[in-house]
C-alpha cells in the first residue's frame, strides 16, 4: 500500500508543478503576446473546399483579432520546465525522494516528449507566419508532410526499436500487423492532427484535451508505466493552467503550437499504452477521444456532401460551430462538450482497465 501511495505521489506532483508553472508563466507570455500583437491581422477564414467561410466569419471574424495566438506555449512550456526542472534537481540533489520524482526516462517519456516538442516548434512556426501582415501561415500541405515525416519516424521507432508489431483488441487476442504498425501510426497521427480544429471556441480545446490526457494517465498508471503516467498528468496540469486563462473571454488561443504538439503526443501515448504496455490504448482512443472523432467526421461529411450533392449537412463545420450557428451560445457548447468528454473518458478508461 505504501508503494502504491508513493507512485500516486509521483504522478500528482508533476501535475501540480506543471499547473503552478503554467499559472506563473502566463502573465509573462501574455505581456509579450499583446505587446507584439500576436494575432491575425486580417480576419476571416477559408472553408475546407477553398471558398470563403461566410457563416463562420459572421460569427468569429472579430474574435480572431481580439486575443493573441500561441497560448499553447503555456501547455508545452510548463511541461518542459517541469520535466527538465525535476530532472536537474534530481541530478544535483540526489536525494532518494527527489530521484523518485524524476520522470524523464528513456523507455517511457523520451518519445512522447520529442513528439510534443517537435509538434510545438512546427506549430509555433506556423503561428509566427500567420500573425504577420497578410500572413496565411504554413501551407496545409507543408504541415501535413511534416506530420507524416515525424509520425513515420516515431512509427519506425515503435516497429524496429521497440518491436511493436501488434494492436491489442479488448477482450480478444492481439492483432498482429507487423510493419503495418508504421502506416497505422501515421494515419492515427494525421486524423488526430485534423481534429485540432476543435480549438475553435473559448475554453473548448483545453477541457477536451485535458480529459483525454487524464484518461491516458490513469491507463498508464494501471500498466505500471509510472513515468508515462506522470508525463500525461503534467500535460493535464499545463492544460488546466491554460484553461484558467482561456475560459470566456479567452486571454489567448491555443493555436497550432498547442494543437499540433498535443495531437501528436496523444498518438504516441496511445501506442505506448497498447501492446507495449500490455493494454488497449489504441482501441480505446476513438472512445476517449470521441469528440475529436466527431470533429473530424463532421468536417468530412460537410465536404463530401457539398462535393457530391451540392448541399451542406451542417450550417458550419465542424460540429461545434454548427451548434453556434443554430443559436447556442458558445459557453453552452463548451460546457456540454466538457461533460461529454468526461463521460467518454470514463467509458474508455473502464474498457481499458477491464481489458488489462
Cβ pair 314, 302 in contact under 8 A: yes
Pick the closest to residue 22 from 78, 81, 61 (CA basis): 78
CA 213 – CA 22 distance, rounded (Å): 16
Residue 19 exposed, middle or buried by CB count within 10 Å (0-12, 13-18, 19+): buried
Distances (CA, A) of 292 to 202, 233, 301: 16, 20, 14
State the alpha helices, DSSP H only, in the chain: 2-35, 54-60, 72-92, 96-101, 110-130, 140-156, 181-194, 204-222, 226-246, 255-272, 285-288, 290-309, 319-325, 330-355
CB 231 within 8 A of CB 60: no
Q: How far, in Å, CA of 313 to CA of 125, rounded? A: 34
Alpha helices in 93-201 (DSSP H): 96-101, 110-130, 140-156, 181-194
**Buried b / exposed e along 109-118 (16+ C-beta atoms within 10 A):** bebbbbbbbb
Is 256 annotated as belonging to a binding site? yes
User: 157: which DSSP letter?
Assistant: I
Q: Are 104 and 43 in contact (CB under 8 A)?
A: no
- All cell numbers assigned to 315: 450550417
Q: How far is CA 169 from the centre of its chain?
A: 24
Known binding residues are: 256
Known binding residues for Mg(2+) are: 256
Amino acid at each position: 500500500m505504501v508503494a502504491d501511495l508513493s507512485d500516486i505521489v509521483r504522478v500528482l506532483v508533476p501535475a501540480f508543478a506543471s499547473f503552478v508553472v503554467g499559472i506563473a508563466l502566463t502573465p509573462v507570455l501574455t505581456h509579450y503576446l499583446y505587446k507584439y500583437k500576436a494575432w491575425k491581422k486580417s480576419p476571416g477564414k477559408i472553408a475546407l473546399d477553398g471558398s470563403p467561410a461566410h457563416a463562420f466569419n459572421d460569427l468569429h471574424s472579430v474574435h480572431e483579432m481580439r486575443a493573441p495566438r500561441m497560448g499553447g506555449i503555456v501547455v508545452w512550456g510548463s511541461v518542459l520546465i517541469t520535466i527538465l526542472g525535476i530532472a536537474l534537481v534530481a541530478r544535483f540533489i540526489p536525494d532518494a525522494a527527489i530521484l523518485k520524482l524524476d520522470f524523464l526516462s528513456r523507455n517511457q517519456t523520451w518519445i512522447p516528449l520529442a513528439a510534443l516538442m517537435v509538434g510545438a516548434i512546427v506549430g509555433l512556426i506556423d503561428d509566427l507566419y500567420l500573425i504577420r501582415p497578410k500572413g496565411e501561415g504554413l501551407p496545409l500541405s507543408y504541415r501535413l508532410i511534416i506530420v507524416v515525416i515525424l509520425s513515420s519516424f516515431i512509427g519506425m521507432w515503435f516497429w524496429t526499436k521497440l518491436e511493436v508489431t501488434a494492436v491489442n483488441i479488448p477482450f480478444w487476442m492481439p492483432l498482429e500487423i507487423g510493419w503495418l504498425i508504421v502506416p497505422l501510426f501515421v494515419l492515427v497521427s494525421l486524423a488526430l492532427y485534423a481534429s485540432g480544429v476543435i480549438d475553435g471556441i473559448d475554453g473548448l480545446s483545453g477541457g477536451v484535451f485535458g480529459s483525454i490526457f487524464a484518461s491516458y494517465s490513469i491507463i498508464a498508471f494501471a500498466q505500471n508505466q509510472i513515468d508515462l503516467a506522470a508525463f500525461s498528468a503534467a500535460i493535464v496540469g499545463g492544460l488546466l493552467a491554460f484553461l484558467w486563462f482561456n475560459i470566456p473571454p479567452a486571454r489567448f488561443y491555443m493555436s497550432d503550437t498547442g494543437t499540433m504538439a498535443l495531437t501528436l503526443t496523444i498518438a504516441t501515448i496511445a501506442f505506448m499504452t497498447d501492446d507495449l504496455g500490455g493494454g488497449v490504448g489504441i482501441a480505446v482512443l476513438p472512445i476517449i477521444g470521441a469528440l475529436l472523432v466527431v470533429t473530424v467526421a463532421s468536417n468530412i461529411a460537410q465536404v463530401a456532401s457539398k462535393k457530391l450533392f451540392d448541399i451542406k449537412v451542417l450550417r458550419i463545420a465542424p460540429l461545434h460551430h454548427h451548434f453556434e450557428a443554430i443559436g447556442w451560445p458558445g459557453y453552452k457548447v463548451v460546457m456540454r462538450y466538457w461533460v461529454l468528454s468526461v463521460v467518454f473518458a470514463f467509458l474508455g478508461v473502464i474498457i481499458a482497465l477491464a481489458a488489462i
